[in-house]
């Protein structure tokens, strides 16, 4: 009897403060929303990926997803995402750095130019790429004098990475631009006054200051690329098939939800692994910084 | 239940009038299917929801079929563009959003296999007889209304005035130089039939397909295939940008380019035909209106009107008689072209699609 009355006493105590109660009230809609529309679908996807046709539990969808052509598609997905993340970081960095030095009006205009192409439908944009990058496209026509022309810029990995990088550029530019605007220019001036060269200032002062932005921008474009499929399908060949294409095929063509669920779960795990990796690297960096500071 | 059905049929047959049909549908709708939602209970205008694939095809359907149907019957038509998977999920939940499904006959066979379609009462579709729909397009659950074809499209300026006559020419990259484009499984069924035709298999001996042989023949062309297309307009874009000199194409998709003066043409020899049809979703809310719309759409003159608005080939032979000669010549389904092609064996593909698609990917990634 005592145990029974003791049990509800604790939460009552927890709920005693008015502040907590109000907080829970405010959080409730979001919590319910996430439980219903996020947690429940993910759990049911997980179950779907473990279910046999007859309802018993099995791992064979995962075996399927991790063997043969499915595995090579998974590796392709990782490779293209990594390439995209790297390239969009490099170009995003250069672009954001340039924009952050511009006057606000010009900076706004430059940002507009980066973002506006993304309001155009993927299909139309891809046809634009064909006009630009095709064998008889603008780039190859202007480079007709060069040795080795025409260059194959489409329907291979290069084409895909050009396409996905341009898709990811707004994200990296926007993120890095925000971080770079926050960098105190006085610090750079101070370093220069102490006699540091441009390379040293960049490497020892500027880069560490924008590093968190770089990490999150790179991660963001990597994760977004993982689930990407329109651009790779339109600008690549079969060797650039991404895992999202396979998931789509299984669901829409073959009505095969279990296999698709398994691949979806793998995609989710990869994303989490990516997040974990960045967390690990940034905490390692932070501890190294602390050590060097002490 | 059984009696109500017969009564309704007799009633419809006896009176036939459109207004009476509507009244009957409203009056008997409630006892028609016990499990269905009764959307017409509001007393207002009746509606029917039809699934189609949208785009320019959807626009043509609206113009040639839905609007005239509403004018004639007073039943308003709502359109739903939904993929197979979510539609099937809805039907399995017992609450399909749509009544009439316009989809490929192969999809209908898949739906039927999942018990997602109403068994059709042929007596309620009078235009089956008047439009002389061929028997092989009438199944228990779906009626074929038209077909689309997949054939060769090529640049007329690429081969010095010669024109490709067959799939063997499509494979002959010495005589007909330049890149090729073929369909990816994202777009349509893999094109094994074309490989077998190129290798000399006669058109009437294609099925069951010799998959090993087909892939062997495809391998001969692999290095020349620059792009596997996955959407209807892409072959036209690739041809007009001179990325390739020859491509497989959904027939009709290059007609606009030809009008714009792009030097492209089609070759109908060895065209692969795939039929689309109408079916009624299981537990649909407006079964009677769905029958009426299906019946209306299958009429020969309505099929002909659709063919004027969109390059779809009517299943009704009577429809072709209602077209001008020019309109008829533009359609791959015209009687004079019919022997050039073959019908896709959907039973074979239903059994083998998943395995062939997987193998296709392995092959294409090589």
Cβ pair B241:A241 closer than 8 A: no
Question: What pLDDT, on a 0 to 100 scale, did the predictor assign at position B27?
Answer: 40
Asked whether the beta carbons of residue A237 and residue B228 sit closer than 8 angstroms, the reply is yes
Please state the separation of Cα A25 from the chain's center in Å: 33
Domain annotation covers residue A201:
yes
Q: In 10 A of CB A191, how many CB atoms?
A: 18
Instruction: With CB atoms and an 8 Å threshold, state whether B243 touches A72.
Output: no
Give the confidence band of A12 by pLDDT, cuts at 50, 70, 90: low
Q: What is the residue-wise DSSP string for A23-89?
A: HHHHHHHHHHHHIIIIIHHHHHHHHHHTB-TTS-B-SHHHHHHTSHHHHHHHHHHHHHHHHHHHHHH
Which among B320, B288, B295 has a CA at the least distance from the CA of B305? B320
pLDDT of residue B15: 40
The beta-carbon neighbor of B364 closest among A123, A238, A257 is A238
A244 contacts chain B (CB < 8 A): no
Helix A207-226 vs helix A157-181: crossing angle, to nearest 10: 140
CA distance A221 to chain B (A): 25
Interatomic CA distance for residues B108 and A219, integer angstroms? 43
Q: Which residue is closest to B358 within chain A, CA to CA?
A: A69
Q: Measured between CA atoms, how close is B72 to chain A, in angstroms? A: 36
Task: Give the pairing of strands B47-51 and B76-80.
Answer: parallel
**pLDDT confidence of residue A279:** 83
Which of A136, A145, A221, A223 lies closest to A176, judged by CA? A221
Residue B104 — φ and ψ, nearest 5°? -70, 155
List the alpha helices (DSSP H) in chain B: 2-15, 18-32, 55-61, 67-73, 84-92, 105-113, 127-130, 167-171, 192-198, 211-221, 234-240, 255-259, 287-298, 300-309, 317-321, 325-330, 346-365
B237: nearest CB among A127, A253, A256 = A127
B142 in Cβ contact with B120 (< 8 Å): yes
Q: Does domain B2-147+276-326 have CATH number 3.40.190.10?
A: yes
Return the residue of A nearest to B359 by Cα: A69
CA distances from A69 to A53, A130, A242, A264, B358 (A): 22, 28, 11, 16, 8
Do the domain assignments include residue A262? no
> Could you tell me the two tokens for B315?
């299943």
A-chain CB neighbours of B158 within 8 Å are none
For residue B117, give the DSSP letter: B
Residue A18: predicted pLDDT: 82
**Closest-CA residue in chain B for A239?**
B365
Higher pLDDT, B54 or A90: A90
C-beta of residue A166 within 8 angstroms of C-beta of residue A84: no
Whether A67 and chain B come into contact, CB under 8 Å, resolves to no
pLDDT for the residue numbered A212: 85
Which pLDDT score is estimated for B255? Answer: 87
CA distance A209 to chain B (A): 43
Contact B230 A123 (CB under 8 A): no
Structure tokens at B208: 């069951």
DSSP bridge partners of B76: B47
Q: φ, ψ for residue A271 (rounded to 5)?
A: -60, -45
Separation CA B151–CA A182 (nearest Å): 59
Q: CA A109: distance to chain centroid?
A: 25
Between chains, do B353 and A253 touch, taking CB under 8 Å as contact?
A: yes
Structure tokens at A221: 């474009």
Using the Cβ of A127 and the Cβ atoms of chain B, whether some distance falls under 8 Å is answered with yes
| Mean pLDDT (whole number) for A278-288 | 80
Q: What is the pLDDT of residue A78?
A: 94
Q: Which two tokens stand for residue B209?
A: 């397909």
**DSSP letter string over A167-212?**
HHHHHHHHHHHHHHHTS-HHHHHHHHHTT--HHHIIIIIIHHHHHH
In a domain, A235, yes or no: yes
Please provide the DSSP assignment of B62-113 as one string.
Answer: IIIIIHHHHHHH--EEEEE---HHHHHHHHHTT--S-SEEEEEHHHHHHHHH
Q: What residues of B are in contact with residue A252 (Cβ under 8 Å)?
A: 83-85
The beta-carbon neighbor of A134 closest among B230, B231, B243 is B243
Do the beta carbons of residue B137 and residue B277 sit within 8 Å? yes
Chain A residues inside the 8 Å CB shell of B361: 69, 73, 238, 241
**Helix-strand-coil percent breakdown of chain B, rounded to 5?**
50, 20, 35
Contact A249 B365 (CB under 8 A): no
B149-274+341-365: CATH superfamily: Periplasmic binding protein-like II (3.40.190.10)
Question: What end-to-end distance do the CA atoms of chain A give, in Å?
Answer: 57
What residue ranges do the domains of chain B occupy?
Answer: 2-147+276-326, 149-274+341-365
- Residue A291 counted as domain residue: no
> How many structural domains does chain A have?
1
Q: Do domains B2-147+276-326 and B149-274+341-365 have the same CATH topology?
A: yes
Cβ-based contacts under 8 A for chains A and B:
68
| Shortest Cα–Cα distance, A204 to chain B (Å) | 45
Task: Give, in degrees to the nearest 5, the angle at Cα B149 between B144 and B151.
Answer: 165
- pLDDT at A5 > cutoff 90: no
Q: A117 pLDDT exceeds 90?
A: no
Suggest the residue from B53, B108, B178, B186 to mutate for an interface test with chain A (most A CBs closer than 10 A).
B186
| A127–B354 CB contact, under 8 Å | no
The strand pair at B100-104 and B264-280 is best described as antiparallel
Q: What is the pLDDT of residues A214-243, one digit of tens each?
A: 988 999 999 999 988 888 888 898 999 999
Residue A11: per-residue pLDDT: 60
Contacts of A137 in chain B (CB under 8 A): 241
CB contact under 8 A, B357 and A253: yes
Residue A266 lies in a domain: no
Nearest residue of A to residue B189, measured between CA atoms: A253
CATH number of the CATH domain containing A149: 1.10.3720.10
Nearest-CA distance from B115 to chain A in Å? 14
Residue A184 counted as domain residue: yes
Whether A130 maps to a domain, the answer reads yes
For residue A139, give how far its alpha carbon lies from the nearest alpha carbon of chain B (Å).
13
Percentage, residues of chain A above pLDDT 70: 94
Residue A8: its pLDDT value, please? 52
**In the numeric block, which tokens belong to residue B158?**
């690429």
Give the A window 147-166 contacts with B, CB below 8 Å: 154-155
CB contact under 8 A, B365 and A251: no
pLDDT digits (tens, 9 = 90+) for A137-172: 899 989 888 887 788 899 999 999 999 999 899 999
**Is A249's CB within 8 Å of B357's CB?**
yes
Q: How many CB atoms lie within 10 A of CB B309?
A: 16
Per-residue pLDDT tens digits for A27-38: 999 999 999 999
Across chain A, mean pLDDT equals 87
pLDDT score at B14? 41
| Domain of A121, in residue numbers | 65-241
Cβ contact B362–A68 (<8 Å): yes
> A236 CB near a chain B CB, below 8 Å?
no
Residue B336 CB neighbour total at 10 angstroms: 10
Q: What is the pLDDT along chain B (366 residues), one digit of tens a residue?
A: 334 444 444 444 444 443 433 333 344 333 333 334 444 444 457 999 999 988 888 999 999 999 999 999 999 999 999 888 889 989 999 989 999 999 999 999 999 999 999 999 999 999 999 999 999 999 999 999 999 999 999 999 999 989 999 999 999 999 999 999 999 998 899 999 999 999 999 999 999 999 999 999 999 999 999 999 988 889 999 999 999 999 999 998 888 899 999 999 999 999 999 999 999 999 999 999 999 999 999 999 999 999 999 988 999 999 999 999 999 998 999 989 989 999 999 999 999 999 999 999 999 997
d(CA A223, CA A88): 13
**Termini Cα distance of chain B:** 58
Kindly identify which residue of chain A lies nearest to residue B82, measuring between CA atoms: A252
Q: What percent of chain A has pLDDT over 90?
A: 46
Asked if residue A260 is part of any domain, the answer here is: no
Could you tell me which residues come within 8 angstroms of residue A176 by beta carbon, excluding any fewer than 6 positions away?
A92, A93, A96, A97, A210, A213, A214, A217
Residue with tokens 């087909």, as numbered in its chain: B214
Q: Is B43 left (phi over 0), alpha (psi -120 to 50) or beta?
A: left
On whether the CB atoms of residues A168 and A85 are closer than 8 A, the answer is yes
pLDDT at residue A54, rounded to an integer: 83
Residues in chain B within 8 Å Cβ distance of A68: 362
- Tell me, rounded to whole angstroms, the distance of Cα B162 from its chain centroid: 32
């Amino acid at each position: 009897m005592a145990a029974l009355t003791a049990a509800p006493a604790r939460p009552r105590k927890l709920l005693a403060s008015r502040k907590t109660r109000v907080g829970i009230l405010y959080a409730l809609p979001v919590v319910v929303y996430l439980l219903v529309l996020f947690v429940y679908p993910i759990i049911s996807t997980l179950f779907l990926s473990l279910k046999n046709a007859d309802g018993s539990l099995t791992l064979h969808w995962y075996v399927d997803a991790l063997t043969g052509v499915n595995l090579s598609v998974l590796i392709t997905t990782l490779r293209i995402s990594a390439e995209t993340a790297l390239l969009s970081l490099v170009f995003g960095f250069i672009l954001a750095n340039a924009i952050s030095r511009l006057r606000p009006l010009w900076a706004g205009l430059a940002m507009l130019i980066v973002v506006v192409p993304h309001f155009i439908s993927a299909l139309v944009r891809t046809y634009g790429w064909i006009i630009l990058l095709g064998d008889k496209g603008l780039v190859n026509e202007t480079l007709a004098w060069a040795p080795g022309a025409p260059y194959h810029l489409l329907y291979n990995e290069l084409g895909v990475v050009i396409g996905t990088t341009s898709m990811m550029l707004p994200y990296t530019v926007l993120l890095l631009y925000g971080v770079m605007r926050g960098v105190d220019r006085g610090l750079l001036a101070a370093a220069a006054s102490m006699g540091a060269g441009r390379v040293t200032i960049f490497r020892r002062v500027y880069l560490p200051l924008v590093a968190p932005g770089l990490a999150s921008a790179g991660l963001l474009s990597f994760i977004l690329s993982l689930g990407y499929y329109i651009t790779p399908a339109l600008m690549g060949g079969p060797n650039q098939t991404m895992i999202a294409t396979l998931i789509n095929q299984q669901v829409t063509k073959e009505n095969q939800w279990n296999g698709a669920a398994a691949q979806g779960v793998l995609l989710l795990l990869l994303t989490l692994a990516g997040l974990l990796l960045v967390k690990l690297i940034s905490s390692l960096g932070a501890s190294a910084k602390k050590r060097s500071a002490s | 239940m059984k009696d109500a059905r017969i009564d309704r049929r007799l009633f419809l047959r006896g009176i036939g009038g459109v207004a009476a049909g509507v009244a009957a549908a409203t009056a008997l709708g409630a006892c028609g299917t016990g499990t269905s939602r009764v959307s017409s209970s509001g007393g207002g205008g009746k509606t029917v929801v039809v699934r189609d694939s949208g785009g320019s095809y959807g626009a043509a359907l609206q113009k040639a079929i839905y609007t005239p149907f509403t004018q004639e019957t007073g039943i308003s038509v709502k359109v739903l563009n939904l993929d197979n998977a979510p539609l099937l999920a809805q039907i399995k939940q017992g609450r399909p959003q749509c009544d009439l499904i316009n989809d490929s006959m192969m999809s209908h066979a898949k739906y039927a296999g999942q018990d997602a379609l109403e068994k059709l009462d042929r007596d309620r579709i009078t235009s089956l007889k008047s439009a002389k729909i061929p028997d092989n397009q009438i199944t228990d659950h779906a009626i074929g209304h038209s077909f689309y074809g997949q054939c060769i499209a090529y640049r007329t300026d690429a081969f010095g005035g010669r024109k490709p006559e067959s799939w063997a020419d499509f494979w002959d990259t010495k005589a007909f130089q330049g890149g090729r484009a073929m369909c990816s499984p994202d777009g349509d069924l893999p094109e094994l039939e074309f490989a077998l035709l190129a290798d000399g298999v006669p058109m009437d001996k294609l099925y069951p397909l010799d998959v090993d042989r087909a892939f062997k023949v495809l391998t001969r062309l692999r290095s020349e295939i620059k792009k596997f297309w996955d959407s209807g307009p892409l072959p036209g874009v690739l041809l007009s940008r001179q990325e390739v000199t020859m491509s497989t194409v959904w027939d009709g998709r290059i007609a606009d380019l030809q009008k714009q003066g792009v030097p492209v043409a089609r070759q109908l020899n060895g065209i692969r035909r795939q039929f689309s049809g109408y079916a009624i979703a299981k537990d649909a809310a407006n079964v009677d209106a769905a029958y009426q719309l299906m019946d209306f759409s299958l009429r020969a003159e309505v099929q002909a009107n659709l063919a004027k608005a969109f390059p779809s080939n009517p299943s009704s032979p009577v429809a072709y008689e209602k077209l001008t000669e020019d309109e008829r010549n533009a359609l791959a389904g015209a009687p004079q072209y019919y022997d050039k092609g073959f019908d896709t064996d959907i039973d074979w593909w239903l059994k083998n699609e998943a395995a062939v698609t997987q193998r296709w990917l392995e092959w294409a990634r090589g």
